[in-house]
Chains A and B, each alone.
Chain A
Amino acid sequence: MFMQRVFGIPDRWRTFGRRTIQEVSKLGIDSIPLVIIISLFIGAVIAIQMQLNISSPLIPAYSVGLATRDIVLLEFSNSILCLILAGKVGSNIASEIGTMRVTEQIDALEIMGVNSANFLVLPKVVGFVLFMPALVVICMATSLIGGYLVALLTDIITVSRYVYGLQALFQEWYVWYGLIKSVVFAFIISSVASFYGYYVKGGALDVGKASTNGVVASSILILLFDVLLTKLLLQ
C-alpha cells in the first residue's frame, strides 16, 4: 500500500527531478568522505590480516592481493558498506520524514493535494539507488588503495606482488555481482527507513525509535538478501 503510493507518477516531473538531485547530493555525495575513510582503513586491515593468515611457503605471496581484492569485491564494498550506510543514510531518512510527520508537514502536503509518500520518498529511493553504484566503485578502489598503502609503507608484502595479486585470476562478474547487490541494498535502506519515518506517531522520542527500528530492520533485510542474492548470483 505504502509502496504503491510511493511509486505513483510524480505530480511535477521538474520538482521530482530537482528533489532527486538534492537527495543524490544529501544521501550519496555527502556519504563519500565516510566511505573513503572506512574503505581505506578496512582495505589496509584486510591486507595485513591476509598476510598474517597466508604466511605459508606453499601459498604464493601474491595471494594477499588476490584475497584482499576478492573480499572487497564480493562482500565488503557492497554488503558491509551498505550495513554501515544503513546507519548513516537510514537514520537520516527515517528521522527527517519522521520529524515531518510529527510536525504536521506531511499533513500539510496531503491537505494541499500532494501525494506526500511519492513527493518525499520517491526522490530518496531513486537518488540513493542511482548513486549507490558510484559509492561501491569508490569503496572498491579506496579499499584496494588501502591495501596498496600497506604494501608501500610496510615490508610485509612487496608492492609488485600485491599489485600482481590484484590482477591475478580476476573475474569481472564479481564487480557486477557487487553492484547488483548494492542496488538492491540501497533500495532496502531507503524504502524501509522511509516507511518507518512515514508512519511515526507521537513526538521526538518516537522519531528516535523509528530511526533505530528503521536501521535495525534494513540491516536484517540486507543480511537476508545478501544470502539470497549470493546463492542466486554466484551459484
Chain B
Amino acid sequence: MIEVKNVTKSFDDRTVLHDVSATFYTGKTNLIIGQSGSGKTVLMKSLVGLMTPEKGEILFDGRDIIGMDRSQIKDLRKEIGMLFQGSALFDSETVLGNVMFPLTMFTRQSYDEMYQRAMFCLERVNLKGAENKYPSEISGGMQKRVAIARAIALNPKYLFCDEPNSGLDPKTSIVIDELLRDITHEYNITTVINTHDMNSVLGIGENIIFINKGRREWVGDMTQIYNTSNEALNDFVFATHLFQKVREYVVENERPTPPTSATPAAK
C-alpha cells in the first residue's frame, strides 16, 4: 500500500500540488485521473521519486520515500516497475534484451535463468515469438506490452503506469487495461495508473483519485463515479455525448456496465 499524506509541490511561484492526500491499495488498480495540467503527472513523478515535494509524506508500506537517501531510494526502486507513456524501451536492445535488462542489472541469476524468466514475462503479455525483434520493428501496443513485461520482470511490489493507453487504438487500449488489471490481481501488486482515458476509468478503476487544479477532489471507484455530485469530475469523465449516454443508462438501470466488459479483448 502507498499512502500519500499532505503532499505539496511547487515550481517557482506556482503550486502544482496542494496538500494532496491519497491511498493506493495493494492488489487494486489505483487510477489517478484529471485534466491535462491538473498535477497528476507531478504526483506520479513524486511517487516514484523523480521529483521531491516540499511538504508531506509518501509512504511505501510505511517507508517514506521523501526522507530516503540515494541508496535507500535505489533499494526501493528495485521493488518498483514503471510503464512510461512512450514505453521507453531501449532502442539498442531487442525485446528480449529489454525484458532481461533489469534481471542482468539486479539479480545474480545465470543467463538461462534470466532467459527463462524473460520468456515467461513475454508469454504473460502474449508476446512469445517477438523476442528477437527490436522496438522499432513492433507496433505501439506491442511496445507497451514489452514495457509491461520489463516492468514485471523483477516481481515488483509497486507498478506505476503513466498514461498506458496514450497513442493506442481503443481495442489495444482495452488489451493493455485488462492486462494491467489481471497482473495486479495475479501478483497482488499496488498498481498506480495515471490516465485520462475514460474507458480505463470506467473499466478498471477499482480506486480512483481525481485531481483537479492540484487538489484531490474526489476518491471512489468505477461504480461510484456514475453517481458523483462533483461537478468538475462530471465535466471531466462525462464530457462526451457517448459517456453521458452511458451514464444515463447505468443510472437508470442502477448497475455499472464497464465498457471493457462489453467488448471482448483482442489478444
Q: Report B91-131 residues with CB < 8 Å from chain A CB.
A: 91, 101-102, 104-106
Known A-B contacts A111-B80, A113-B74, A113-B77; A15 and B85 likewise in contact (beta carbons under 8 Å): no
Establish whether residues A107 and B106, one from each chain, have CB atoms under 8 Å apart when the complex forms. no
Q: Within 8 Å CB of A167, what residues of B?
A: none
Establish whether residues A113 and B78, one from each chain, have CB atoms under 8 Å apart when the complex forms. yes
In the assembled complex, the CB of A96 is this many whole angstroms from the nearest CB of chain B, namely 9
Choice from A11, A104, A110, A113 contacting B86 with Cβ under 8 Å:
A104
User: Main SS of chain B's interface residues?
Assistant: mixed
Who on chain B is nearest to A11 by CB? B105
The answer to the question of A154 belonging to the interface, with a C-beta cut-off of 8 Å to chain B, is: no
Known A-B contacts A103-B86, A104-B86; A110 and B106 likewise in contact (beta carbons under 8 Å): no
Who on chain B is nearest to A22 by CB? B92
Establish whether residues A103 and B104, one from each chain, have CB atoms under 8 Å apart when the complex forms. no
Establish whether residues A112 and B102, one from each chain, have CB atoms under 8 Å apart when the complex forms. yes
Provide the bound-state CA to CA distance between A103 and B73, in Å. Answer: 23
Give the one of B88, B91, B106 with max A CB within 10 A: B88
In the assembled complex, the CB of A9 is this many whole angstroms from the nearest CB of chain B, namely 12
Establish whether residues B88 and A112, one from each chain, have CB atoms under 8 Å apart when the complex forms. no
Establish whether residues B82 and A111, one from each chain, have CB atoms under 8 Å apart when the complex forms. yes
Establish whether residues A15 and B105, one from each chain, have CB atoms under 8 Å apart when the complex forms. yes
The answer to the question of A105 belonging to the interface, with a C-beta cut-off of 8 Å to chain B, is: yes
Q: Report B59-86 residues with CB < 8 Å from chain A CB.
A: 73-78, 80, 82, 84-86
Establish whether residues A12 and B88, one from each chain, have CB atoms under 8 Å apart when the complex forms. no
Who on chain A is nearest to B48 by CB? A111
Establish whether residues A104 and B85, one from each chain, have CB atoms under 8 Å apart when the complex forms. yes
Establish whether residues B105 and A12, one from each chain, have CB atoms under 8 Å apart when the complex forms. yes
Q: Within 8 Å CB of B73, what residues of A?
A: 113
Provide the bound-state CA to CA distance between A165 and B76, in Å. Answer: 66
The answer to the question of B262 belonging to the interface, with a C-beta cut-off of 8 Å to chain A, is: no
Choice from B78, B84, B106 contacting A108 with Cβ under 8 Å:
B84
Q: Within 8 Å CB of A111, what residues of B?
A: 48, 50, 77, 80, 82, 160
Q: Within 8 Å CB of A108, what residues of B?
A: 82, 84, 88, 90
Per-residue CB contact flags for chain A residues 19-61 toward chain B (1 = under 8 Å, else 0) read: 0000000000000000000000000000000000000000000
Establish whether residues B78 and A104, one from each chain, have CB atoms under 8 Å apart when the complex forms. no
Establish whether residues A105 and B50, one from each chain, have CB atoms under 8 Å apart when the complex forms. no
In the assembled complex, the CB of B109 is this many whole angstroms from the nearest CB of chain A, namely 12
The answer to the question of A114 belonging to the interface, with a C-beta cut-off of 8 Å to chain B, is: yes
Q: Within 8 Å CB of A113, what residues of B?
A: 73-78, 105-106
Provide the bound-state CA to CA distance between A42 and B14, in Å. Answer: 57
Choice from B48, B91, B104 contacting A12 with Cβ under 8 Å:
B104
Who on chain B is nearest to A119 by CB? B105
Q: Within 8 Å CB of B90, what residues of A?
A: 105, 108
Provide the bound-state CA to CA distance between A111 and B106, in Å. Answer: 13
Known A-B contacts A112-B77, A113-B74; A103 and B88 likewise in contact (beta carbons under 8 Å): yes
In the assembled complex, the CB of A13 is this many whole angstroms from the nearest CB of chain B, namely 12
Given contacts A15-B104, A105-B89, A113-B106, 12 further A-B contacts (CB under 8 A): A11-B106, A15-B105, A99-B91, A103-B88, A104-B84, A104-B86, A104-B88, A111-B160, A112-B101, A113-B77, A113-B105, A114-B105
23 A-B Cβ contacts within 8 A? Answer: A11-B105, A12-B104, A15-B104, A104-B85, A104-B86, A107-B84, A107-B88, A108-B82, A108-B88, A110-B77, A111-B50, A111-B77, A111-B80, A111-B82, A111-B160, A112-B80, A112-B105, A112-B106, A113-B74, A113-B75, A113-B76, A113-B78, A113-B106
Closest 8 CB pairs of A and B: A113-B77, A104-B88, A108-B88, A111-B82, A104-B84, A113-B74, A105-B88, A113-B78
